[in-house]
Amino acid sequence: MGTRLNPYINFGDQARAAMEFYREVFGGTLTFSTFGEYGMEASPEADKIMHSQLESPGGLVLMGADTPAGMPPHQVGDNVSVCLSGEDVEELSSYFAKLAVDGTVGVPLEKQVWGDHFGMVTDRFGINWMVNIAGTSSR
């Protein structure tokens, strides 16, 4: 296997709900490991997600975790956007629509000056997404 770059998102204490939402959006196989499964059975964080991984049928991989006590809190989604791009209009439009449910559309998914369809949405968990559908200038 070659090198892959996979988004890994920390969700405070919403990793399970967020990753289940992304499984609804992208489909695929979702696995969870809790802190309790790795030696922290008596910890208040035993049921929190230490690691989760979603592998979609289309090859997308998304990872996530809850933020354990002792780690400094962060602002979810304020410094990064996850970008989905390709040529499959139906697939990418569907992802955008599903991510927008209970989220905020910053830029509607529509034809842009460079000829592609592009949109930006912040999902219900505060994660910023960009969707670019290439080669749609004539559609």
DSSP structure string for 26-70: H-SEEEEEESGGGT-TTSTTTTSEEEEEEE-TTS-EEEEEPPPTT
Is residue 42 included in any domain, yes or no?
A: yes
Is residue 75 included in any domain, yes or no?
A: no
Is residue 3 included in any domain, yes or no?
A: no
The 3-state DSSP class for residue 10 equals strand
> 52 lies in which domain range?
8-65
Q: What global pTM score does this model have? A: 0.82
What's the pLDDT tens digit per position in 60-103?
999 999 987 777 666 655 667 899 999 999 999 999 999 999 99
Which residue type sits at 10? N
Is residue 74 included in any domain, yes or no?
A: no
Which has more confidence, 35 or 93? 93
Residues 55 and 99 in one domain: no
Does 120 have pLDDT greater than 70?
yes
